[in-house]
Amino acid sequence: MGTAKAQRAGNDPAEPATNAPQPKLLSRPAGALSRSDIDEKEMAALIHELVSCGTRLTLSSWADPKRGVGCARDKIAARFEEISKTTGGKLQVVVDKFEATAERTSGKAVPLENVYAILPGTDPVMAKTVFVVSGHFDSRPSDVMDPNADAPGADDDASGTAVSVECARLLGKLAATGKSGFRATILFAAVSGEEQGLLGSGHLADWLKEKGYAVGGMLDDDIVGADSAQGAPHRVRVFSGNGEIEDADSLSRELARAVEEIDGRDAIRMIFRVDRYGRGGDHYPFYKAGLPAVRFTEPLENYDHQHQTPRTENGVEYGDFEKYLNFTFMGNVARDNAEVLRQLAMAPAAPTDVRLTGAVTPDAKLSWKAGDDPERAGFEILWRETTESRWQVFDFVPSAGQTMLKGVSTDNHFFGVRSVGKNGARSIATPSQPEVRPAPGTNKK
C-alpha cells in the first residue's frame, strides 16, 4: 500500500509535457522605500492634532477651528500645504465640499468635505490613471448621531489619515527630485462621512469619474494604528473581495496580490474577504463599482477602543486613545502603502480584454489588448493552480495580441496577464475571462 501511495503522490501529467517556457524576468524597480524613510514623529503629531479636535463626527461643526470635524479638516489641509511647499508645488491640495443624505444624517442633506493632495502623473496618457490612498478623518462616539460627545478616534481613523499624509510626504519628496518616474497620478485622500455610511469615499469615487480618471488601485487604510498582541509588530491585514464573476478573480483581489508581491509575505497578510464581518469601509464603494480596492487593517482589533465614548465601566476603560497606538507597526503600514503606490505609479497600464480560449483543445490561448507604450517591455503571462492563492509567471511575451500556451489545458489553472515596464514595474494582473461556451447537455447560454 505504501508503494501504491508513493506512485500516486504528486503524479499529475506535466503541463506542458515538454519545452516549458523559461522566461527571464526583469527585476522590480530599484530605489525601494526603506523603513527608515518613515517619520513616525510627524505621524504622531498629526494624530495628536486630530485627537485634540475633541470630536470629528461628520455632523459636528465644520466652522469651529477648535472643536469638531472642521478643525480636523484644517489640520490636514495645513499639513498637506506644508508638504506641498517642499515639492515646489508639485503636490496640489484640494478641499472638496459636497452634500450627502443618508440614514445616519437623519435623511437630511448635510455638508461634508474631503481633503486631497494630488501628485499628477508625468506621462500624458498614464496621468489619467490614478492610484488612491485614503484614510477617513471623521470619528464617532458610541452614539453615531451625537455631535457633542468626545470621539478621539486615534486609531479609527486618525491612523489611516496619518498613513495617507505620510505617503504624500514620502512620494511628494521623490517627485520633487524629478526622478520619481511616477507616470500615473497619485491621490492622497483624507475623507469624511465614513461613520455616517461611507459618504466621503462614495463621493470620491464619483468625483474621480467626473474628472475623467480611471482608478488603477485604491488603498483604504482604516484602523491601522494598534498592534497590541504579543510579538508585535505583526503583519497588516489586507482585505479584498472576491467579485461577482464565477471562475474569475476580482480586480480587488489582483490588487491585493500586487500589494503582497511588492511588500512581501512577511509584511502582508492577505485576507480573501471583502471586509471583517459586520463591518464596512471606504474601499467598498470602489469595490462595488468593479474597481481594484483593498482595505488595510491592524492584525487583531480591540473593540473596547473603537466607536466608544470615552469612559470607565466596571474597571474597563473604553475609548480610542493615542496611548494604545503602536508607531512601529503604523510606520510599517505607511512604508508598505507608499512602496505599493510608488511601484504601481511607475508601471504601464494593465492589459484589458484578457480572454481565455482553446477549450476542448490541447492548447490554451490567451488574448489581450493594450495601448501603445514605448516604456513597456512586454507582458507576463500568469497562471496558478485553481486551489492556489498566488500567481506564477508562465511566460513573457513582448507584445499584445494573442499567445498560445502549448500543451496547457484551459481547465486546470487560472490565467492572467500583467504589463511590465522597462523599469521593472508591474501593473496589477488582469484575470482572464473564459470564453462563454455552453457545456453539452446544459441549457446555459
Which residue ranges make up the site for Zn ion (CB under 5 A)?
156-157, 222
Least distance in angstroms from the C-beta of 77 to Zn ion: 20
The residues, ordered by sequence, that sit 6+ positions from 151 with a Cβ below 8 Å of its Cβ are 54, 55, 56, 57, 139, 140, 141, 309, 320
Q: Residue 156 or residue 275: which is nearer to Zn ion going by CB?
A: 156
Q: Which is nearer to Zn ion, 325 or 347 (CB)?
A: 325
> For residue 179, with 0-12 CB atoms within 10 Å meaning exposed, 13-18 middle and 19 or more buried, which class applies?
exposed
- Tell me which DSSP letter residue 357 carries: E
Least Å distance, CB 384 to Zn ion, is 33
With beta carbons less than 8 A apart as the criterion, state whether 196 and 136 touch.
Answer: no
Taking phi over 0 as left and psi of -120 to 50 as alpha, with beta for the rest, 37 belongs to: alpha
Q: Which residue has the cell 455616517?
A: 196
Residues 421 and 30 sit within 8 Å (Cβ to Cβ): no
Query: Which of 15, 146 has the CB closer to Zn ion?
Result: 146
Which amino acid belongs to residue 69? V
For 412-421, b/e burial (b = at least 16 CB within 10 A) is ebbbbbbbbb
Kindly tell me which of 163 and 176 has the beta carbon lying closer to Zn ion. Answer: 163
Least distance in Å: CB of 301 to Zn ion?
11
Beta carbon of residue 152, minimum distance to Zn ion (angstroms, whole number): 13
CB closer to Zn ion out of 151 and 187: 151
- CB of residue 155 to Zn ion, shortest distance in Å: 8
Pick the closer one to Zn ion by CB: 87 or 306. 306
CB-nearer residue toward Zn ion: 157 or 395: 157
Min dist CB 157 to Zn ion, Å, is 4
Q: Is 307 left (phi over 0), alpha (psi -120 to 50) or beta?
A: left
- Distance separating alpha carbons of residues 394 and 205, to the nearest angstrom: 35
Nearest to Zn ion of 157, 254 (CB atom): 157
Compute the least distance from the CB of residue 224 to Zn ion, in Å: 10
CB atoms within 10 A of CB 360: 10
Cα 187 from Cα 127, distance rounded (Å): 11
Closest approach of Zn ion to the CB of residue 44, in Å: 19
* C-alpha span between 189 and 186 (Å, rounded): 10
